[in-house]
Structure 1
Amino acid sequence: MNGLTPLGVFHTAVSLVAVVAGLMAFFRDKEILLKTRLGKVYVIATLITCLTGFGIFAHGGFGKPHALGVITLLVLLLAAVAGYTRWLGRASPYVETVSYSATFLFHMIPGITETTTRLPLGAPLLPNAEAPELQAAAGVMFVLFLIGAALQVRRLRARQARQARPAGHPAPA
């Protein structure tokens, strides 16, 4: 499969499971949460993707993809801590939600890079991972992440405001 090792094929397949689970969670729940079945599938597949990525050295030694894997693991840990403890106080649900969304962005960057530099077979869309088009695509994805995170924070604030209102009291006009 275009120079992929068996580990590379497995890594790619599991990452696709994570991306699909993440997309389904965004569409269904507007967020990725470890407390849901889709969230669990996403997080487990993301963990496996990160761990298998450490065994892939297609471009030499430890590189940017490996660093992104380390960052992804740290952000997953932060999200889990925020989701299962009150260590971050009132910020916990915000940190949890935005952190899981950030890990989805982290999937998209290498996904777009690998896809555009490998496909179509024999004549990839872009020559290499340093192509300016990829930097532009990463910028667009980052802006989309910021918009999505802002919408998620707004939704969480509204949810917390509803929960804080005493029963029978309407929302302020």
Structure 2
Amino acid sequence: MASRRIAQSSINWAALAERVPPNQKTNLTAFKSMSDKYLRSVLANPETPPKMDWAFYQKNVPIAGMVEKFQKAYESLQIPYPADTLTSQVEAQEKQVLQEVAQFIKDSESRIAEYQAQIATTKSLLPFDQMTMEDFRDAYPDQALDPINRPTYWPHTPEDQKCDTPNEKAHH
């Protein structure tokens, strides 16, 4: 991969700041400060290394062959641009997260539909101040008093009921 000059930060800091929770804003600010400092230090240096005046050195250095040796070494120096080994991992992780997000959205839509059905059912009921005990029993059979099948004892709280088996306690 050829070396390319960084001209500006490719990070959309405003969009990132919107997604960061309030308790992490100081960390984001510190990270942005370090990133900006790094970018300034990169931009402070020239894009290409300075040109050497080899003729000047050949005239002024008395040792024969030394300038030619340094010139060959300087011109053959190639600093490799770091290879990108993490982009594929990040892209795979992004695909996985997008699948998880899609599954969460699908699950959320089914929960929303279920909750809307519950809301519709609740709205279709009589208001509690207009219900009779029979209406309440019809609407909420598991919560209504049933003295025949599930008798209770005063004060009718779950912890004050006599139960022969643990299963009966669960029904009260």
Q: Which has the higher contact order (CA 8 A, sep 6+)?
A: 1
- Give the structure-2-normalised TM-score: 0.23
- Structure having the higher helix fraction is 1
Specify the structure having the higher radius of gyration (Cα).
Answer: 2
